[in-house]
Amino acid sequence: MPHKITLTGSATGPLREYDRYVAFDMREKGSPSAPKGLKKSTFISYTVFVAKKAFNKTGLTKKSIMHEKILIQGEPTLDIPIDECPGEIGVICFQITVLPNKNDKEKNESEAKKEPKQEASGSSEASQNTKPKKQEEEQVPVSQPVAKEEMKEVKEVKEVKPIQPEVQQAPTEEKKTTLSNQPKGTQDLLNFDDIIVPEEFLKTRPNPEKTQKVIDFVKRTGRLDEPLTIEKGSNVLKDGYRRYIVAKTVKMDQVPVVYEYQK
């Protein structure tokens, strides 16, 4: 069986372009503790070789690759000339994925928390503004004689009020319609950047052929074939890492999910 290798981090050197592929350098630190009697491992440098077609799909550039955190899954090789492979070990990349930035996640979460507060304050102000109007309408017949035209206007205002519940129900109906267009079993739509991927998933490499079939399905239908399984509350991915990779590749803003509750 061929050897497999997984790297995470950012490029430590500039991007180098060749005829059909690009290359860049990465490095990883060894384990902080080694078995008793053995020497500790230090940094190991790698040179990663990626096909241009696969690299262009990630949206990375010569500048951004030095700052974005990426996941590389591939096979080690020692057969590349030293002038093309300055790293200690060469890596033939089968899959490259840009990992979400933690700072962006925290920023989105803080903005999401602020929005409900603003909506709540806005609704309380609206209720305060509407309350005096209701009191004025109720006091009109008691305080003084009212002309027929004024009574007609008050009656029309009161007849308009039953329309409000229909307006409030519209977002719920819209959400049901949106979920009906998603794969069977979908419970909710979740922002892609809010999903947290466990380390054990990042160390695996989904089958490229099966992954490409899901990508073709999304391009053909505009949606995933199955929802992702997410832990309720923590947004930790429990199942569906291949579909997570596909959603990242095609740059989906929201993904269909089914919740798994903590035991």
44, containing H or E segment: strand 44-51
d(CA 253, CA 101): 15
Q: Are residues 234 and 110 in the same domain?
A: yes
pLDDT given for residue 146 in this prediction? 45
- Only one residue has tokens 């999903």, namely 195
231 pLDDT band (50/70/90 cuts)?
Answer: very high
Q: At residue 81, what are phi and psi to the nearest 5 degrees?
A: -55, 150
Q: Is residue 129 part of a domain?
A: no
- Only one residue has tokens 């053909």, namely 220
Domain of residue 23 covers 5-30+41-99
Q: Are residues 245 and 207 in the same domain?
A: yes
Q: Are residues 111 and 209 in the same domain?
A: yes
Q: Coil, strand or helix: which one is 2?
A: coil
Q: Residue 55 belongs to a domain with what CATH number?
A: 2.40.50.140
Q: Are residues 16 and 105 in the same domain?
A: no
Q: Is residue 112 part of a domain?
A: yes
Q: What is the pLDDT of residues 86-131, one digit of tens each?
A: 888 999 999 999 988 766 656 666 676 666 655 555 555 555 555 5
Q: Are residues 82 and 191 in the same domain?
A: no
What is the number of domains present in the chain? Answer: 2
Burial class (CB in 10 A: 0-12, 13-18, 19+), 87: buried
* pTM, rounded to two decimals: 0.40
Q: Are residues 109 and 74 in the same domain?
A: no
Q: Are residues 113 and 71 in the same domain?
A: no
Q: Are residues 114 and 70 in the same domain?
A: no
Q: Are residues 88 and 106 in the same domain?
A: no
Q: Is residue 151 part of a domain?
A: no
Query: Using an 8 Å Cβ cutoff, are 209 and 120 in contact?
Result: no
Q: What is the pLDDT of residues 171-214, one digit of tens each?
A: 556 666 677 788 888 888 989 999 999 988 888 888 989 999 99
Cβ-based neighbours of 101, under 8 Å, separated by 6 or more: 68, 69
